Structure 1
């Protein structure tokens, strides 16, 4: 079966090898330059760093589809061993760096991703599957930190110091690779379906990805001077609509569908069509409150005028007009659903649109000026928001350390329970001993004797419940039981388990140990034990911080939360909607995020009171479908 006409032809194996070799070399040369900038000249460090990048490049270049990539990534995640708390924070920060690199090089990476799909003959590939992408760079940085023997703080500082240099060098690298692959004739793979596969009604498409519309007979034959005059008359007509007192002339909504539009050059007609589709998407977006949709509709006339004068702007993500449209959509999406006229953000949106409609005639510089005012006002608003919650910084930092400890302790318990202990023991470890481990981590740290001892107690409890057919094993068990029981009691007392509950647990273990001492399998007499009821999410006081509470679900984490990409990108200023204890809906604005992104501080609506929320609780509510968060519409995406 032949390929769709809009797909690039397959490339030869020799050209593929040449292109991959050149891309790999360019990536390694770029990383080598970064290492020289930071004086990592030790040959062992350089070799380990570049070797990790080369290995990751080759691995990704060998994966043909998204399914294989996702399965291998999942398998890798399942093999992660217990790591030190610093390594856990470093991994989180490294993931954030990859996301920042992706956002800063979004345009170049998008083009490279499509070219590599052609190069590797891929039908479907994840963005993270790109061999020269941020994930490969992250592998190199991890190897650098390990080979250089950097401490936890030094690793975090390394990421901070390298960020701007990596963004600058990678943006240049990706631009050069796009140009080189273009020279080699490696085109971007089209993600559009064949015409017969496309649904009758489609969402708005971006101009970068939209196929060129077939020119009409009129536009083919129309004299360029006449076409220019027609464009000028359309612009004058739009100005007349505004002068007539209508900020949103109804006819302008269908400008691209009129017969006159068919006389425009293809590029102008497509730009008009793109803007109309983008604004229609904005008007229908569920995260934009009704109070913001009317002023945003006022963008239609100035943007249509710009599309007629400079149609190329719709293909330029860095153009001030596109950036302004995106910024206004973000501002609108962060408003509460019931936003009323008079709020600061809504006033800012209205003022921005009003200035455009008044001042834009022929000089597009006004778009950059309005964007600068909008971004400066946003910066000042977020700075003021941050200042209001500065007094809570230390409290939420302590809570972040507790959350990291909980994740680490839960991971240790999951690893221990891989030995499949009796259910009685597993439930005990999950619901009681995981709390002991978390407390030990926060009090003494992972490199302490107390942490090692707490792990040994859990491992010893599991071993004690296994059948002991050999007399020597039973003798060893008999000698260790008094110490084991004492350690268990001390741990339960440390986390303030009620004496009645503690004694009942220890008595149950004693009866099972009696079976082991007789050489029998204790699981054969194990009573039917139900798991304790899941602790509901609750509000706890943040220690040492007056007036601040934290929303979380305490206890053991049966699995590491799966974090959607949209949640990983949450930032200060965005709105969150969640469910509070008792089923009470709540919403607030993100005012602060702890360094490892384990605790988010919200300014709740409408009373502006602060509320800390654990990251695991945010992820849990997202999985349960009870979390809502503002997202700026992806206006120019397919």
Structure 2
């Protein structure tokens, strides 16, 4: 008997490949796999484009309006022009993950991450595309999930990075994402985009069963986990006439589930249990004449326990011990010793070990563990009824447990457990199972569909709010960059200079707003920005003392236009009109005083030659019947303007900002804490230890690159935390951040059980 030939190796590392392998060095088998897959995908993509013209032409022929017809014709033209670039882009997206299999990528966002160069609110069109992609991926996984899972497992045996079915570069999720990215340059309407996706499903995804079969066979031939036994390759309807027979299809599906899947995982687990039973795992004492009860009798005992299980289930509740007591009572009543059969006992042990992992898992919030613990008996009953529970990732009971755990990932201990809709929904699911589940597993499919509808609605709401949060942060980042540009411009012109106080105040308080608005609307390379800077330069020059007679003439020509530009700019920035008037009154006095000084230092003959020109007038509108020429009293003309020297850098505060934040501690670029920050991906869930008693769970929603801010949101999509890269590194250094594992809970639990059994076998 084989020891673990049928065990799915969840964490193997091939001897010839280590995590420290030279960058880019791939095993020969992987290179062959990559090239073979690329060739098949390229051929399938060419078939797609060859048929796209005919499909779009037919759609145009059936169009209800000229506008709709033109849209299809434009799409045909666009597709022809961009066909080669789409093919190249798609294959490049497929090739790229292979190049980084033996690298540790830093700071790369996952597939589907938001680009902060072009943020926009989630629109209805995007939701339609998202729904279509989910349906396409689900269709492939429902058909080829075992082949994809085997391929992922074999890839993990050869590379240093951890893959799952979603990150498998040949998995349907990655291929759909690659195609969508490659088609991003197409300027087509949503209706046409959905048609193109449908063509991708028909001509590329429909043949993935062959790709997976050949890929697995290639790796098996190279000696990679040959013990994994795959199901026979499904043939497309156009290839196999027998596929049209529903009875044959149902029989094949049933045979696949009841045959290979069970042999693959459950039998292998039984073998491991058999090897550790009596040594590392205590063997139960049973009378020699004890007869095993049937699975049906076991289900009746479990149903009795299910109805009388304490709520909440405490740590002291031991399912195996409770079952042993019920068996003893039943034996005493019947006068005949009874025991659980070996197969059923293996199921009990496995489910108990799975739940031991689940209830010790730090990813699950403690406030929800008590609810999930009550699912142990219903899950055990399902496993007794259907052994594919251990092997089939799409099993409704297994999926329900995974979906509950995923939804609970962002649940915080501070959330109101009495009023939280998520808590109430999970409680409703648990109670329904405890009350209604006897021996018909169909209830799990019904509850799964209901729970997915609930979480889908919550997810759409949270994604919309999350997108708005990102948009707001993008806007804040642009404003912050603009403030930095304005600060730089002001400090370049004012720092170290001695100028009249009114000029410094006007530039810092008023003209800075004009510059900020100009920078946001037009950018720093625009003529508007250069004109605003020129106005500021002219004002600074006009406020400085000049002895040259030509400077007086220049000032006479400059002032009217300067005052006009200042007034128009401040009006465009909606600056307070009263403050504007005050500033202009003081500026006019300042400029007239400058001319008075010119008269005092100029020779009489020169003064006669340059009379006061008409241009030196107030920029304010003329009063009725009064000239606009500024008249100064002798005292005002002789008054010395208040002067200040700008010795400190000007810092502009954001609205609501009280003061400048203290400088952060700087770490070396290669500091381990910074590397951990850079490895965070958008969508990662983390837990912050705020103090000894309080923890905060949140998701990294955005990394705003221009400002270096990391934005975290709660499970509803609302922003609750903002950190800098260096600030996060400090938190990592003091162990105040813990990454939450968002991999599927049941799969992690099963992986842990298999690992523990192997350790026990070697003990």
Range class of TM-score, shorter chain: 0.5 to 0.7
Question: Is residue 219 of structure 2 the alignment partner of residue 185 of structure 1?
Answer: yes
Which residue of structure 2 aligns with residue 19 of structure 1? 33
How far apart, CA to CA, are the structure 2 residues paired with 1:24 and 1:139? 13
Q: Which residue pairs with 1:251 in the alignment? A: 318
CA distance in 1, matches of 2:374, 2:559: 77
Give the deviation of 1:319 after TM superposition. Answer: 1.4
Encode CA deviations 1:309-335: one digit per residue, 9 max, x unaligned: 323213323211122223444566658
Paired with 2:458 and 2:119, the residues of 1 have a C-alpha distance of 34
Q: Aligned runs of 1:295-310 on 2, under 5 Å?
A: 295-310=371-386
Residue 403 of structure 2 is aligned to residue 312 of structure 1: no
Counterpart of 1:453 in structure 2 is 527
Once the 2 structures are TM-superposed, how far is the Cα of residue 25 of structure 1 from its aligned partner? Answer: 2.2
- Aligned counterparts, 1:355-374, within 5 A: 355-374=432-451
Q: Evaluate the alpha carbon distance shift between residue 7 and residue 600 of structure 1 in structure 2; reply closer, same or farther with a 3 A threshold.
A: closer
RMSD (CA atoms): 6.9
Q: Deviations over 1:552-586 (max 9, x none)?
A: x9xxxxxxx9996564899xxxxx99x9xxxxx99
Cα distance change of structure 1 residues 44 and 535 upon mapping to structure 2, 3 Å threshold: same
1:113·1:127 contact (CA, 8 Å) conserved in 2?
Answer: yes
The answer to whether the aligner puts 1:268 opposite 2:347 as a matched pair is yes
Shift of 1:301: 0.7
- SS of corresponding position for 1:216: helix
Matches within 5 A, 1:233-632: 234-242=298-306, 244=308, 246=310, 248=313, 250-252=317-319, 263-264=342-343, 268=347, 271-273=350-352, 275-277=354-356, 279-281=358-360, 287=365, 289=367, 292-329=368-405, 337=414, 339=416, 341=418, 346-375=423-452, 407=477, 422=492, 435-437=516-518, 440=521, 452-454=526-528, 456=530, 493-496=571-574, 527-533=647-653, 535-536=655-656, 565=681, 567=683, 620=723
Note the C-alpha offset of 1:529. 0.3
Find the aligned partners of 1:369 and 1:379 in 2 and give their Cα distance: 15
Shifted more, 241-250 versus 313-322: the winner is: 241-250
Distance change in 2, residues 1:113/1:215 (3 Å):
closer
State how many pairs are aligned.
500
- Partner of 1:326, secondary structure, is helix
Q: Which residue of 2 aligns with 1:57?
A: 94
- On the 8 A contact 1:288/1:335 being kept in 2, the answer is no
Deviation per residue, 1:294-352 (Å, 9 max, x gap): 44332111111222332321332321112222344456665874535577655543443
Quote the Cα distance in structure 2 between the aligned partners of 1:99 and 1:565: 25
Structure-2 change in CA distance of 1:28 and 1:631 (3 Å): same
2:504 maps to which residue? none
1:196-243 Cα offsets, whole Å, 9 max, x none, are xxxxxxxxxxx98999573425979x9xxx998575564444234235
Q: Which residue of structure 1 lines up, in the alignment, with residue 745 of structure 2?
A: 635
Query: TM-score normalised to the size of structure 2?
Result: 0.47
- Shift of residue 183, structure 1, vs aligned partner: 1.1
Which secondary structure state, in structure 2, belongs to the residue aligned with residue 70 of structure 1?
A: coil
Task: Check whether the contact 1:256–1:272 (CA below 8 A) recurs between aligned residues.
Answer: no
* Other-structure match for 2:332: none
Shift of 1:43: 3.8
> Once the 2 structures are TM-superposed, how far is the Cα of residue 48 of structure 1 from its aligned partner?
1.0
Q: What is the correspondence of 1:63-212 to structure 2 with a 5 Å cutoff?
A: 63-67=100-104, 69-70=105-106, 112-118=151-157, 121-122=159-160, 131-132=169-170, 138=177, 141-146=180-185, 148=186, 150=187, 154=188, 176-186=210-220, 212=269
CA distance in 1, matches of 2:47, 2:294: 53
For 1:430 and 1:182, the matched residues in 2 are separated by: 68
Aligned to 2:274: 216
Q: Closer, same or farther in 2 for the Cα pair 1:110/1:418, shift >3 Å?
A: farther
- Quickly say closer, same or farther: Cα 1:9–1:30, change in 2 above 3 A: farther
Post-superposition Cα deviations, 1:561-613, rounded to whole Å, max 9, x if no partner, equal: 9996564899xxxxx99x9xxxxx9999xxxxxxxxxx999999xxxxxxx96
The answer as to whether partners of 1:65 and 1:123 remain within 8 angstroms in 2 is yes
Once the two structures are TM-superposed, the CA of residue 374 in structure 1 deviates from its matched residue by 3.9
Contact persistence 1:360–1:366 (CA under 8 A): yes
Kindly name which structure, 1 or 2, has the bigger radius of gyration based on alpha carbons.
Answer: 2
Equivalence for 2:545: none
* SS of residue in 2 equivalent to 1:184: helix
Give unmatched runs, 5+ long, in structure 2. Answer: 1-9, 18-25, 57-74, 226-263, 284-289, 326-338, 496-507, 539-554, 588-644, 662-676, 699-710, 749-763
How far residue 264 of structure 1 moved from its aligned partner, in angstroms, is 3.7
- TM-score, with normalisation over the residues of structure 1? 0.54
- Contact 1:563–1:619 under 8 Å retained in 2: no
CA distance 1:377–1:114, shift in 2 (3 Å): closer
Which runs of 5 or more structure 1 residues have no equivalent in the other structure?
A: 191-206, 387-392, 465-477, 508-524, 539-552, 554-560, 571-575, 580-584, 589-598, 605-611
After superposition, what is the alpha-carbon deviation per residue over 1:242-282, rounded to whole angstroms, capped at 9, x for unaligned? Answer: 35564659231678999x89944897367424532354147
* Maintained 8 Å contact 2:48/2:200: yes
Higher relative contact order (CA 8 A, sep 6+): 2
CA contact (8 A) 2:486 2:516 kept: no
Change (3 A) 1:496 1:59: same
